[in-house]
Amino acid sequence: MEATSDPSVPAGPQRSAPGRLELVRQFVNTADLAEGTDELNGLDGLGAWLSERGLLGPGDRLEPDDLARALAVREALRDLLEHRSGGSPDAAAARVLNAAAAGALLRVAFDRHGTPQPEPVAGGLDRALGELFAIIYGADIDGTWGRLKVCADDGCRWAFFDHSRNRSRSWCNMASCGNRAKARSYRSRRSAAAGRQPPAQPAS
């Protein structure tokens, strides 16, 4: 288990994304599609997850429709990342994220060293989403955003950070998802080859 550079971000079961980009990876992975579990189980579950990671302020409250909004953003992020592992760019996902970003207002703030950083100005879920979008913006600038992907195995789609030198990883785990994909491809090729075989001639 590898710790992140940010001590406030708990490490995941696999190698983590750098810095606060790990929060985005963890957010996408709140739904484990292979296991059929979801950490954002109800509005209370969403609130707890966001609060534990400092994405909600002490006075922030969630509204009844915030769970549906959060889940829509999570799945749009998953769909957006999918094309990096061989899928096609998803215009619908971009529309969902753009709609969410319209309410997650950001401003530029300067730290004590004079470094400008985007930070959210809204409250509640919009504050949390604004923080995630600000992290993504910063990761795009430093070049790490392009390495965040989702597993190419349709039954998995787990978000992972591609640490490979040439950014060539397609599966979150080669030993499981990668081998399953290769086995499916092998069976498909054998089936196609068998279908091209000429029919056996009857004995004369």
Distances (CA, A) of 67 to 49, 62, 135, 152: 12, 8, 21, 27
Considering only residues 18 and 13, tell me which one the structure prediction assigns the higher pLDDT. Answer: 18
Position 3 in a domain = no
**pLDDT interval class at 191 (50, 70, 90):** low
Position 153 in a domain = yes
Position 118 in a domain = yes
pLDDT tens-digit series, residues 90-137: 899 999 999 999 999 999 999 999 999 999 999 999 999 999 999 999
CATH number at residue 74: 1.10.3300
How many domains does the structure of the chain reveal? 1
Strands (E), 99-170: 106-110, 116-120, 148-150, 159-161
Position 36 in a domain = yes
pLDDT at residue 163 tops 60: yes
Position 14 in a domain = no
- For the entire predicted model, the pTM comes to 0.79
pLDDT at residue 86 tops 80: no
- Domain containing residue 175: 21-195
Position 140 in a domain = yes
